[in-house]
Structure 1
């Protein structure tokens, strides 16, 4: 008798697409049910992002409107690209704040980025475990201070009348210097205080990378008579180079974030021409002069440029052979 089972199997109707989708949904909801407590823990984070990250996106339309407080965001008349045109062609402040933002960010990269790497290399060479822990704690501690505290310390130390630095300047026979009101010194103070605050925290990543290097490499180098400097250039730096590249690209992504909290707490009208950046300009002009539409356009321009840097950095990360952000 002829076997007809394959024919019957072939003749059986295939499940419909809606039935497949329904099965997948049921499976998905079952997974949600198994992990309901984890999802419940995630809920506050989702709500926070919805309120503070996605909710404010409604206000982006201010950049394309002539905002009137009495009419609100929805009732204000549309202005098109009027504020962007004014920003690029007629605004007397935009070239200055753009230059300050880029310059201060570049100073942070050039002088601030290598500092954690150097500190991590120095701490890695210490042989006394107790001294290493003390040094790491001292350098790591300023990271937990807010910029309000750091700025107060800087103002006190650099005060022209009672500051320790100016006391030394007077002792050397020179006139006291008002550092925080001098355009020649202000950017250097910004970079110096930022390095002092963040260097210990940034070194943690590189210390972790240094700890992952195989000790056999150093032992083989010692057998071959290789000195410390040669080990540094031939073993240590090449081993942590991927981490350095990734951290450098992350820093490039935030090149327009020149340090809003720091500058807001330290600057004054005497140094606006060298310290006013996009974020502080938006905060000061938008709130005090009530130019909401124009400053929204400035902020939107900054965010678009930042997005371009994020995409470019992600492309560079992938080209370097590392895993990208997305």
Structure 2
């Protein structure tokens, strides 16, 4: 990547060209061709495995390997060789034992997916990103709050476009939100393909995500998502063909309106907590990564990331 500026004006404005421009900015240091990655991202939607939801009262702590596989749930890691994933697995199994397990209902994207690019662009994003040069990162987990939005006057009174993002390599979970002049707020959860996953979300909720990207030949990806407020979960598995993940990131960003950054909706603060990552090398802490403050074209601060401890940070408006 040659600079930290998001290019949005080259080429046509078709959905394919928009996605190609975004992938060109993503992971250029890995030497992957953007057409290849674009094709893989689109094809992933046809390689999705949909598992039946676990029945009410299902106890992952006592379930057999076969039962876990039947419902698309991760196998229990060996605490002797993988202590961090094993501790996380047990914590999540206990926390979500009484939750309602939903069948994923992937709604295809109506507009191009907007992956979180390497080196967060300060005109668009605010948060933390960490690059690992020692070993691939195979798991990233955390929780975050969904903010209440207040409209900021913008171009032609169009809605403000806002999202939270949470990413492992090319895998992303977004809470896509908008707010219009009448203070009507919309919110949906999408993954890296742009598809909605059918997990209900609204302002004030707390979302949990565990993303896994295996280093096998097909680069199997797992999304384990939960709304801790409504006590519902959903999980998705797909073959992606993606390269091993070397970055993790989380934060907030704004969308584009007429190829320009949307005015940033007012949101108070968004908290990211329980941030845990797993790699075969040294301990991976997102908050040891690079912070990015969102600014406008004049350099005025719009949103600031604040590290609270090793596993927690917040993004504050202004």
TM-score w.r.t. length of structure 1: 0.21
Q: Which has the higher helix share?
A: 1
Max radius of gyration: which structure? 1
TM-score by length of 2: 0.21
